Amino acid sequence: MQETDFDVIIVGAGFSGVYMLHKCRSLGLSARVIEAGTSVGGTWYWNRYPGARCDVESMTYSYSFLEDLEQEWHWPERYAKQSEILRYIDHVVDRLGMRKDIQTETRVTEATFNEATNRWTVVTDPEEQFTAKYCIMATGCLSTPNLPQFDGLESYEGDWHHTGYWPKEGVDFSGKRVGIVGTGSSAIQSIPMIAAQADHLTVFQRTPNFSIPAWNGPIGEDAEREWKKAYPELRARARVSPVGATFEAPDISAMDVSAEERERTFERRWNEGSFNFLAAYSDLLTNKESNVLATDFVHRKIRSRVNDPVVAEMLCPKDHPLGTKRLCVDTDYYETYNRDNVALVDVKTTPINSIVPDGIRVGDTVYPLDAIVFATGFDAMTGALLNIDIRGRGGIAFRDKWADGPSSYLGVAVAGFPNLFTVTGPGSPSVLSNMMVSIEQHVEWIADCIAHMEKDAVATIEPKPEAESTWMAHVNQLASEMLYQESNTWYLGANIPGKPRVFLPYVGGVGHYRTVCDDVAAKGYEGFTLA
Ligand code: FAD
Ligand code: NAP
């Protein structure tokens, strides 16, 4: 056991942890990042499945604090692929000389607050022990892969992989019969790629998802130049926008325009691609009638892209409002079902009952497969935090405190756990935004808070229980006014058996949330106890 003492321990070396380290070093603090993977990148280190790329524009999916780099960096495509994003974060880490402060291949298993010393003790696997005044969880919202408990998986004789834990050396599906379980964003990106390589692909679909075309392609020189010129203004606009984006979001209901105008607007948004579509009207996620109009438009698009009308109907989501499961963004997803080597199997009516040595059994039918891809998602937002045994004042366990769902003040700190911060934690906008914008906002707020504490020699900061309760009531109240409740999603924990059904992110908008956080800080960290 080696004991090492720092001002700050940061758990996780994705975009959050890396920026947090940079801010801590800028404040003159000693900091160590502890990361389970063999290198940095988080999401973009683990998710190497075929077709993995961002679905917000590359030009906006990067740090804004590195103004030189944003002018220098060339993003070749409108949506950057995983390897390009990984290359970017690797470059940032080297450029800022941060690698020596990042300890990889080390998983944090315990974090305990010592009330006598006001310090955190962090224990890892392989076993080491660290102490620090501050403990910052940059553990990611989508970093704990969910592998459902399928009977017989251990008997399977082919290869299987989870999209969120993909081998670095890649997987060659040539000449193979492949099965993929799931039709969320990961599956929708990988299905066209796997279908193009494999001998045959069977897609096991429980719930069809809405997907909008990405219209990916190279970024032209002129567009890149214009974008770079406008960067300060675009970044500023994203910071105060509802979802951290630069697209226009008019405050107008879909019900307040004529059918012809609505059709034109939906068509224009469809042709712009990606999340623009959801911003066509301000009430698509609050008004069922408006949502039905958008749903009808997308259903017609799906039917026009898929040749077989039976398959097209299977692909049209009808059990949840558009956008209440995270919208997917695709390249040739629906067209892939027009290929002769692709089959779609409904596993809602008859679920997968087991994995057998040579494939997947659904009811009485065995689908013989040489390889299986589980695109079955993540234990989102709370999974990575609850995997660590975090103990606060009086030995209270995070796992107990959050047994009925997470409770947090601003999604950034938790009552009873002094000097512990969660980057993009539940109760903050995080996953409902371009996460780069939310990550930077949280990291900067936490760094300012720590700077304030260091300047005034404050030993501890922690939320007051009543401030936390009021915030959670607000988070839940706003969520209850949205259509999100009508859908079984990871936003609600519904994808993990036994997980409490609580809407996890804050729907109040990135811009509004920033104002709330800034006001809290301006009022001397209102709602927190500083000791
Ligand atoms: P992560 O990148 O998840 O990093 C967390 C790190 O913490 C991981 O490396 C993990 O290994 C480490 N860790 C966790 N627990 C421990 C522990 N106990 N000990 C040590 N290390 C630990 N967002 C967007 O805004 N736009 C997109 O287009 C987009 N695309 C995505 C595509 C995929 C496939 C996925 C899964 C997510 C996507 N996201 C997207 C969300 C994405 O997670 C965020 O944008 C962002 O990368 C999160 O960064 P992070 O540092 O907060 O978390
Ligand atoms: P996901 O959206 O949770 O999708 C998981 C899929 O697996 C769903 O279709 C789910 O069906 C299915 N599934 C789970 N358990 C199953 C079972 N037992 N039997 C059959 N099907 C089962 O996960 P994801 O696709 O990995 O995406 C997670 C999030 O990561 C996204 O929402 C997004 O935020 C982010 N992401 C972004 C991109 C991008 O485009 N940039 C790409 C990948 C991921 P049900 O719907 O019925 O539960």
pLDDT of 203 reads: 99
The shares of helix, strand and coil residues in the chain, as percent rounded to the nearest 5, are 40, 20, 40
Mutate-to-test residue for ligand 1 from 45, 143, 399, highest number of ligand atoms within 8 A of CB: 143
pLDDT of 248 reads: 87
The number of the ligand 1 atom at minimal distance from the alpha carbon of 12 is 7
The number of the ligand 1 atom at minimal distance from the alpha carbon of 18 is 51
Q: For residue range 211-242, list pLDDT tens digits in order.
A: 999 999 999 999 999 999 999 999 999 999 99
Residues 74 and 186 reside in one and the same domain: no
CA of 26 from ligand 1 middle (Å) equals 23
Ligand nearest to the CA of 21: 1
Domain assignment present for residue 518? The answer is yes
Residues 517 and 387 reside in one and the same domain: yes
β-bridge mates for residue 328, sequence order: 211
pLDDT of 391 reads: 98
Structure token digits, residue 251: 């405050």
* Alpha carbon of residue 454 to chain centroid: 32
CA of 331 from ligand 1 middle (Å) equals 22
For residue 3, pLDDT beyond 80: no
Show Cβ contacts of residue 285 under 8 Å, excluding neighbours closer than 6 positions: 278, 291, 321, 323, 324, 482, 483, 484
Residues 48 and 105 reside in one and the same domain: yes
Residues 139 and 151 reside in one and the same domain: no
Residues 159 and 139 reside in one and the same domain: no
Which residue lies with its CA nearest to atom 22 of ligand 2?
Answer: 182
The mean of the pLDDT values for the chain is 97
| Rounded mean pLDDT, 41-70 | 97
384 within ligand 1 shell (Cβ under 6 A): yes
The number of the ligand 1 atom at minimal distance from the alpha carbon of 189 is 34
pLDDT of 1 reads: 45
For residue 122, pLDDT beyond 60: yes
Ligand nearest to the CA of 238: 1
∠ CA 254-294-240, nearest 5°, is 65
For residue 488, pLDDT beyond 50: yes
| Rounded mean pLDDT, 351-357 | 97
For residue 478, pLDDT beyond 80: yes
Q: For residue range 264-302, list pLDDT tens digits in order.
A: 999 999 999 989 999 999 999 999 999 999 999 999 999
Residues 395 and 457 reside in one and the same domain: yes
For residue 335, pLDDT beyond 90: yes
Residues 373 and 493 reside in one and the same domain: no
Residues 354 and 407 reside in one and the same domain: no
pLDDT of 145 reads: 98
Domain assignment present for residue 229? The answer is no
Question: Please, are residues 462 and 396 in contact by the beta-carbon 8 Å criterion?
Answer: no
User: Structurally, how many domains does the chain consist of?
Assistant: 2
CA of 325 from ligand 2 middle (Å) equals 9
Q: For residue range 369-407, list pLDDT tens digits in order.
A: 999 999 999 999 999 999 999 999 999 999 999 999 999
Against a cut of 0.95, is the pTM above it? Answer: yes
DSSP label at residue 154: G
| Rounded mean pLDDT, 330-334 | 98
Domain assignment present for residue 311? The answer is no
Q: What is the CATH number of the domain that holds 337?
A: 3.50.50.60
* Domain of 165, in residue numbers: 146-209+330-377
For residue 130, pLDDT beyond 90: yes
CA of 103 from ligand 2 middle (Å) equals 30
Q: Is 506 left (phi over 0), alpha (psi -120 to 50) or beta?
A: beta
